[in-house]
Every structure is written in structure tokens, then in C-alpha cells.
Amino acid sequence: MKIIFWLTIASTTFLTRLLPFLIFPEKKETPQYIEYLGALLPNAIIGMLIIYCLKDITLTSYPYGFPELCGVGSTALLHLWKNNTLLSIGGGSVIYMLLIRLI
């Protein structure tokens, strides 16, 4: 039974990686709406993630959302300063984790 589970996961993962190459081969031009979605969706997804992460902040009780806002702020500042996604996400996460442990 476990082998069926793992084969299903492996084949689904492989299929999701292979499908874009089958639908949009290298020789064929990518449709305009796909190009548009490729430009639009990353920013929309980041916006949704920010809203999801900040939706449970309680501004009326201690610590008043301070760790979350510092984490988001430090992530933004690190990204503006170094323009390095890994550093921005890692640095913001470290600051947030330290603040929720220390406050």
C-alpha cells in the first residue's frame, strides 16, 4: 500500500514538472495571456502570502503585532538594500523568530 502512495506522489510531481514543456515546446511561441500571467501572478501571490501571514495580528493586545511588523519591515528593508531574495526572507524570518521568543 505504501508503494502505491509513493508512486502516486512521484508520478504526480513528475507530471507537473513535465506538463509545461509538453504544452509549450521551445520551438512554439508562448501565448500572450501566459506571458501576462507569468508577469502578474508572482506579485499577486506575494501579496496574498503577506495578507495570510498578517491576518491574525491582534493590535489591541500585547505584543500588538510588533514581531510581525518588524519581520515584514526587516524583510522589505533587506531586500531594498541587498536585492537578495534568500537574504531577505532568511533575515526577516530570523528577526521574527527572535522577537516572538524574546517578547
Residue 36 predicted with pLDDT over 90? yes
Question: Using CA atoms, how far apart are residues 94 and 28, in angstroms rounded to an integer?
Answer: 44
List the one residue out of 62, 70, 58 whose CA is nearest residue 94: 70
Please check the confidence at residue 1 and state whether its pLDDT lies above 90: no
Can you tell me which residue has the cell 510531481? 13
Model confidence at 34, in pLDDT bands (50, 70, 90)? very high
Q: How far is CA 100 from the centre of its chain?
A: 21
pLDDT at 51: 95
Please tell me the pTM assigned to this model. 0.67
